[in-house]
Chains A and B, each alone.
Chain A
Amino acid sequence: DIQMTQSPSSLSASVGDRVTITCRASQSISNFFNWYQQKPGKAPKLLIYAASSLQSGVPSRFSGSGSGTDFTLTISSLQPEDSATYYCQQTYSTPWTFGQGTKVEIK
Protein backbone atom coordinates (compact mmCIF):
# COMPACT_ATOMS: atom_id res chain seq x y z
CA ASP A 1 0.00 0.00 0.00
CA ILE A 2 1.09 3.59 -0.60
CA GLN A 3 1.37 5.45 2.71
CA MET A 4 0.32 9.09 2.83
CA THR A 5 1.85 11.16 5.62
CA GLN A 6 0.48 14.61 6.41
CA SER A 7 2.03 17.32 8.52
CA PRO A 8 1.27 18.90 10.81
CA SER A 9 -1.48 16.84 12.43
CA SER A 10 -3.01 20.04 13.73
CA LEU A 11 -2.42 23.77 13.61
CA SER A 12 -3.90 26.94 15.00
CA ALA A 13 -3.73 30.16 13.00
CA SER A 14 -5.32 33.58 12.90
CA VAL A 15 -7.77 34.91 10.35
CA GLY A 16 -5.80 36.25 7.42
CA ASP A 17 -2.80 34.00 7.97
CA ARG A 18 -1.23 31.97 5.21
CA VAL A 19 -1.51 28.27 6.06
CA THR A 20 0.41 25.40 4.50
CA ILE A 21 -0.24 21.67 4.90
CA THR A 22 2.05 19.08 3.41
CA CYS A 23 1.53 15.48 2.37
CA ARG A 24 4.19 12.97 1.41
CA ALA A 25 3.58 9.72 -0.45
CA SER A 26 5.69 6.65 0.24
CA GLN A 27 6.34 6.29 -3.50
CA SER A 28 5.85 8.42 -6.59
CA ILE A 29 2.18 8.91 -7.48
CA SER A 30 2.54 11.42 -10.32
CA ASN A 31 -0.46 13.74 -9.92
CA PHE A 32 -2.98 11.11 -8.88
CA PHE A 33 -3.53 13.14 -5.75
CA ASN A 34 -6.45 15.00 -4.18
CA TRP A 35 -7.25 17.18 -1.16
CA TYR A 36 -10.52 17.05 0.79
CA GLN A 37 -11.99 19.26 3.50
CA GLN A 38 -14.18 17.79 6.23
CA LYS A 39 -16.25 19.76 8.71
CA PRO A 40 -17.77 18.18 11.82
CA GLY A 41 -20.73 15.95 11.08
CA LYS A 42 -20.24 16.20 7.33
CA ALA A 43 -18.74 14.02 4.61
CA PRO A 44 -15.41 15.02 3.09
CA LYS A 45 -15.65 17.56 0.29
CA LEU A 46 -13.30 17.73 -2.68
CA LEU A 47 -11.12 20.86 -2.72
CA ILE A 48 -8.22 20.18 -5.09
CA TYR A 49 -7.84 17.40 -7.64
CA ALA A 50 -4.89 16.22 -9.68
CA ALA A 51 -2.61 17.98 -7.18
CA SER A 52 -3.26 21.53 -8.35
CA SER A 53 -6.70 21.90 -9.96
CA LEU A 54 -9.30 23.79 -7.97
CA GLN A 55 -12.69 22.07 -7.78
CA SER A 56 -15.57 24.18 -9.06
CA GLY A 57 -17.05 26.37 -6.37
CA VAL A 58 -14.03 26.24 -4.07
CA PRO A 59 -12.68 29.67 -3.06
CA SER A 60 -9.52 30.77 -4.86
CA ARG A 61 -7.66 31.21 -1.56
CA PHE A 62 -7.14 27.44 -1.70
CA SER A 63 -4.35 26.14 -3.91
CA GLY A 64 -2.40 22.95 -4.35
CA SER A 65 1.01 22.10 -5.72
CA GLY A 66 3.41 19.21 -6.07
CA SER A 67 4.00 16.06 -8.03
CA GLY A 68 5.69 12.74 -7.44
CA THR A 69 5.91 12.29 -3.69
CA ASP A 70 5.56 15.75 -2.13
CA PHE A 71 2.41 17.85 -2.17
CA THR A 72 1.22 21.06 -0.53
CA LEU A 73 -2.16 22.61 0.23
CA THR A 74 -2.06 26.35 0.83
CA ILE A 75 -4.76 28.62 2.19
CA SER A 76 -3.58 32.09 1.26
CA SER A 77 -5.72 34.02 3.75
CA LEU A 78 -7.37 31.87 6.40
CA GLN A 79 -11.06 32.52 6.98
CA PRO A 80 -13.25 31.45 9.92
CA GLU A 81 -15.16 29.02 7.71
CA ASP A 82 -11.90 27.19 6.89
CA SER A 83 -11.89 25.60 10.34
CA ALA A 84 -11.97 21.91 9.39
CA THR A 85 -9.89 18.78 8.96
CA TYR A 86 -8.03 18.39 5.67
CA TYR A 87 -7.14 15.03 4.12
CA CYS A 88 -4.88 14.12 1.25
CA GLN A 89 -5.54 11.06 -0.91
CA GLN A 90 -3.74 9.09 -3.59
CA THR A 91 -5.49 7.40 -6.50
CA TYR A 92 -2.35 6.17 -8.24
CA SER A 93 -2.78 2.55 -7.21
CA THR A 94 -5.24 0.51 -5.25
CA PRO A 95 -5.94 0.38 -2.42
CA TRP A 96 -6.65 4.12 -2.51
CA THR A 97 -5.26 5.63 0.69
CA PHE A 98 -5.71 8.83 2.68
CA GLY A 99 -3.47 10.84 4.92
CA GLN A 100 -4.26 10.91 8.63
CA GLY A 101 -5.69 14.42 8.45
CA THR A 102 -4.69 17.92 9.53
CA LYS A 103 -7.03 19.76 11.88
CA VAL A 104 -7.04 23.51 11.27
CA GLU A 105 -8.31 25.70 14.06
CA ILE A 106 -8.82 29.45 14.17
CA LYS A 107 -7.11 31.35 16.99
Chain B
Amino acid sequence: QVQLQESGPGLVKPSQTLSLTCSVSGGSISNGDYYWSWIRQYPGKALEWIGYIYYSGNTYYNPSLKSRVTISLDTSKNQFSLRLSSVTAADTAMYYCASQNIAVAGRYFDYWGQGTLVTVSS
Protein backbone atom coordinates (compact mmCIF):
# COMPACT_ATOMS: atom_id res chain seq x y z
CA GLN B 1 0.00 0.00 0.00
CA VAL B 2 1.49 3.30 -1.12
CA GLN B 3 1.48 6.08 1.46
CA LEU B 4 2.28 9.73 0.97
CA GLN B 5 3.08 12.24 3.72
CA GLU B 6 3.44 15.99 3.32
CA SER B 7 5.77 18.01 5.52
CA GLY B 8 6.75 21.65 5.76
CA PRO B 9 5.96 24.94 7.50
CA GLY B 10 2.34 25.69 8.24
CA LEU B 11 2.88 29.44 8.22
CA VAL B 12 4.60 31.44 5.51
CA LYS B 13 5.01 35.21 5.33
CA PRO B 14 3.75 37.14 2.32
CA SER B 15 6.30 37.46 -0.53
CA GLN B 16 8.28 34.49 0.78
CA THR B 17 8.58 30.99 -0.71
CA LEU B 18 6.38 28.10 0.36
CA SER B 19 8.32 24.81 0.49
CA LEU B 20 6.75 21.39 1.04
CA THR B 21 8.04 17.85 0.74
CA CYS B 22 6.12 14.66 0.05
CA SER B 23 7.62 11.42 1.34
CA VAL B 24 6.49 8.28 -0.46
CA SER B 25 6.50 4.85 1.16
CA GLY B 26 5.30 1.46 -0.04
CA GLY B 27 6.18 2.30 -3.63
CA SER B 28 8.95 3.78 -5.73
CA ILE B 29 8.92 7.32 -7.05
CA SER B 30 10.89 5.87 -9.99
CA ASN B 31 7.85 3.88 -11.12
CA GLY B 32 7.26 4.90 -14.72
CA ASP B 33 3.50 4.29 -14.42
CA TYR B 34 3.06 7.34 -12.17
CA TYR B 35 3.05 11.10 -12.16
CA TRP B 36 3.63 12.71 -8.77
CA SER B 37 1.41 15.72 -8.21
CA TRP B 38 0.69 18.60 -5.91
CA ILE B 39 -2.92 19.72 -5.48
CA ARG B 40 -4.33 22.42 -3.23
CA GLN B 41 -7.75 22.97 -1.75
CA TYR B 42 -8.95 26.41 -0.84
CA PRO B 43 -10.95 27.12 2.33
CA GLY B 44 -14.07 27.31 0.15
CA LYS B 45 -13.31 23.69 -0.88
CA ALA B 46 -12.37 24.15 -4.56
CA LEU B 47 -9.54 21.86 -5.72
CA GLU B 48 -6.71 23.18 -7.90
CA TRP B 49 -4.09 20.95 -9.48
CA ILE B 50 -0.66 22.63 -9.21
CA GLY B 51 1.56 20.38 -11.27
CA TYR B 52 3.32 17.04 -11.59
CA ILE B 53 6.75 15.55 -11.92
CA TYR B 54 7.68 12.30 -13.64
CA TYR B 55 10.49 10.01 -12.53
CA SER B 56 12.59 11.29 -15.45
CA GLY B 57 12.40 14.78 -13.97
CA ASN B 58 9.96 16.06 -16.57
CA THR B 59 7.44 18.46 -15.09
CA TYR B 60 4.19 20.09 -16.07
CA TYR B 61 2.78 23.05 -14.18
CA ASN B 62 -0.64 24.62 -14.16
CA PRO B 63 -0.28 27.72 -16.36
CA SER B 64 -2.05 29.74 -13.66
CA LEU B 65 0.93 29.16 -11.34
CA LYS B 66 3.72 28.33 -13.78
CA SER B 67 5.80 31.45 -13.14
CA ARG B 68 5.99 30.74 -9.40
CA VAL B 69 6.11 26.92 -9.15
CA THR B 70 8.96 24.44 -9.06
CA ILE B 71 8.49 20.73 -8.42
CA SER B 72 11.56 18.57 -7.93
CA LEU B 73 12.28 15.01 -6.92
CA ASP B 74 14.87 13.19 -4.84
CA THR B 75 14.88 9.56 -5.87
CA SER B 76 17.45 8.64 -3.19
CA LYS B 77 14.96 9.70 -0.51
CA ASN B 78 11.83 8.67 -2.46
CA GLN B 79 10.52 12.21 -2.07
CA PHE B 80 9.29 15.03 -4.24
CA SER B 81 8.97 18.68 -3.34
CA LEU B 82 7.02 21.84 -4.10
CA ARG B 83 8.29 25.39 -4.07
CA LEU B 84 5.88 28.28 -4.62
CA SER B 85 7.45 31.70 -4.66
CA SER B 86 6.11 35.18 -3.91
CA VAL B 87 3.16 33.89 -1.92
CA THR B 88 0.17 36.00 -0.95
CA ALA B 89 -2.87 35.38 1.23
CA ALA B 90 -4.54 33.87 -1.85
CA ASP B 91 -2.13 30.93 -1.55
CA THR B 92 -3.57 29.97 1.84
CA ALA B 93 -4.89 26.43 1.34
CA MET B 94 -4.62 22.78 2.25
CA TYR B 95 -1.83 21.29 0.15
CA TYR B 96 -1.96 17.64 -0.88
CA CYS B 97 0.54 15.45 -2.64
CA ALA B 98 -0.87 12.60 -4.70
CA SER B 99 0.14 9.84 -7.08
CA GLN B 100 -1.49 9.63 -10.49
CA ASN B 101 -1.54 6.27 -12.24
CA ILE B 102 -1.10 7.10 -15.93
CA ALA B 103 -1.05 3.47 -17.07
CA VAL B 104 -4.75 2.87 -16.46
CA ALA B 105 -8.02 4.07 -17.92
CA GLY B 106 -8.98 7.38 -16.41
CA ARG B 107 -5.43 8.26 -15.35
CA TYR B 108 -6.74 8.75 -11.84
CA PHE B 109 -5.22 9.94 -8.56
CA ASP B 110 -5.10 6.77 -6.50
CA TYR B 111 -3.12 7.73 -3.39
CA TRP B 112 -3.17 11.03 -1.51
CA GLY B 113 -1.34 12.42 1.48
CA GLN B 114 -3.41 13.58 4.43
CA GLY B 115 -2.77 17.19 3.49
CA THR B 116 -0.98 20.03 5.19
CA LEU B 117 -2.54 23.42 5.87
CA VAL B 118 -0.41 26.36 4.78
CA THR B 119 -1.40 29.83 5.92
CA VAL B 120 0.15 32.92 4.39
CA SER B 121 0.21 35.69 6.95
CA SER B 122 2.63 38.16 8.46
Interface residues of A (CB under 8 A from B): 1, 31-34, 36, 42-46, 49-51, 53, 55, 85, 87, 89, 91, 94-98, 100-101
Contact = CB atoms under 8 A, between A and B. Distances in A.
- Interface SS of chain A: helix, strand, loop or mixed? loop
B46 A91 contact: no
Contacts of A98: 46-49
The 3 closest A-B pairs by CB, nearest first: A49-B106, A50-B105, A50-B106
B81 to A, nearest CB: 19
A43 B112 contact: yes
Contacts of A1: 63
A101 B45 contact: yes
Interface of B: 37, 45-49, 60, 62-64, 96, 98, 100, 104-110, 112-115
Contact of B47 (A33, A44, A91, A94): A44
A62 B116 CA distance: 29
A100 B45 CA distance: 8
B104 A49 contact: yes
B29 to A, nearest CB: 19
Nearest to A49: B106
A41 to B, nearest CB: 9
B64 A95 contact: yes
